[in-house]
């Protein structure tokens, strides 16, 4: 893979035939910007702004003591997965006030990776609901934070009410290999869905 950290893959390879748009979604402070930053082979686009007291009234800051900025629009990155396949990653904020933005972000997207935090699993329902409304298939990646509880896969599936076929993985959004594994689980899932005739309407 050409996209290893440190490689200067600025230009798209001429062999690329398929570009796939994927969303990286999740609630406030779950690690979306970190994930897109770890994965992108180009300098990622971030729209970070310093958090203000006003935001503290609507965003749950528990467990985010070192966090000083928040994404106010989106994150964007690119990852060449093979000779012929390139992924465009769009990090979409999960807060309700960004619902309008989702109308544009979901256009043309094939699927989404939902980042979740075991300290606040219930906060993932909002984005999973939005994805279902938009008919977008998704995989779930538990982004592991040091102080977060560790649960069995079955417990997490039950807590998030996941379908048996929905991929569930654990990752560390700061780590390239771990994040790539999570993304590949989503891509493989989308590939199985594309080969199923009844799900073609979603892609």
Ligand X SMILES: Nc1nc2c(ncn2[C@@H]2O[C@H](COP(=O)(O)OP(=O)(O)OP(=O)(O)O)[C@@H](O)[C@H]2O)c(=O)[nH]1
Distance, in Å, from the CA atom of 9 to the CA atom of 12, rounded to the nearest integer, reads 7
DSSP character for 115? Answer: E
Pick the closer one to Mg ion by CB: 71 or 106: 71
In this structure, the number of other CB atoms found within 10 A of the CB of residue 112 comes to: 27
Token code pair at residue 20: 């796939």
Distance, in Å, from the CA atom of 180 to the CA atom of 140, rounded to the nearest integer, reads 13
71 contributes a contact to Mg ion by CB under 5 A: yes
Tell the smallest beta-carbon distance from residue 105 to ligand X (Å): 13
Task: Please give the C-alpha separations between residue 83 and each of 1, 11, 86, 109, 168, in angstroms, as whole numbers.
Answer: 8, 13, 8, 21, 27
43 contributes a contact to ligand X by CB under 6 A: no
Quick one: which of 30, 105, 142, 183 contacts ligand X (CB under 6 A)? 30
34 contributes a contact to ligand X by CB under 6 A: yes
41 contributes a contact to ligand X by CB under 6 A: no
Interaction residues for ligand X, span 111-130 (CB under 6 A): none
Q: Where are the alpha helices (DSSP H) in 146-175?
A: 153-160
Which of 71, 68, 69, 88 lies closest to 80, judged by CA? 88
Interaction residues for ligand X, span 62-81 (CB under 6 A): 66-67, 70-71
Residue 131's binding partner, choosing from ligand X, Mg ion, none, with beta-carbon cut-off 5 to 8 A by kind?
none
Pick the closer one to Mg ion by CB: 38 or 71: 71
Edge-to-edge, what's the strand order for the sheet holding 109-116?
Answer: 75-80, 85-93, 18-26, 109-116, 138-143, 168-171
Tell the smallest beta-carbon distance from residue 1 to Mg ion (Å): 25
Tokens 């969303």: give the residue. Answer: 23
Residue 113's binding partner, choosing from Mg ion, ligand X, none, with beta-carbon cut-off 5 to 8 A by kind?
none
Q: Do 96 and 127 meet the contact criterion of CB atoms below 8 Å apart?
A: no
> Which stretch in 1-9, 28-36, 103-111, 189-197 sits in contact with ligand X by CB under 6 A?
28-36
Pick the closer one to Mg ion by CB: 94 or 167: 94
Question: Interface residues with ligand X (CB under 6 A)?
Answer: 26, 28-34, 66-67, 70-71, 93, 143-146, 172-174
Contacting residues toward Mg ion, per CB under 5 A: 32-33, 71
């Amino acid at each position: 893979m050409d996209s290893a950290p440190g490689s200067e893959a600025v230009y798209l390879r001429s062999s690329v035939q398929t570009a796939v748009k994927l969303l990286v979604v999740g609630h406030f402070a779950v690690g979306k910007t970190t994930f897109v930053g770890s994965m992108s082979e180009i300098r990622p686009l971030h729209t970070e702004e310093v958090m203000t007291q006003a935001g503290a009234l609507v965003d749950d800051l528990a467990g985010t003591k070192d966090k000083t900025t928040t994404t106010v629009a989106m994150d964007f990155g690119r990852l060449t997965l093979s000779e012929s396949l390139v992924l465009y990653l769009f990090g979409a904020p999960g807060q309700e006030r960004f619902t309008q933005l989702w109308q544009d972000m979901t256009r043309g997207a094939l699927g989404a990776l939902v980042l979740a935090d075991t300290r606040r699993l219930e906060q993932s329902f909002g984005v999973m609901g939005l994805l279902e409304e938009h008919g977008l298939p998704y995989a779930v990646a538990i982004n592991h934070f040091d102080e977060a509880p560790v649960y069995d896969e079955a417990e997490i599936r039950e807590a998030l009410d996941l379908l048996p076929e929905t991929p569930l993985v654990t990752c560390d959004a700061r780590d390239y290999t771990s994040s790539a594994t999570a993304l590949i689980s989503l891509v493989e899932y989308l590939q199985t869905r594309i080969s199923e005739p009844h799900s073609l309407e979603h892609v």
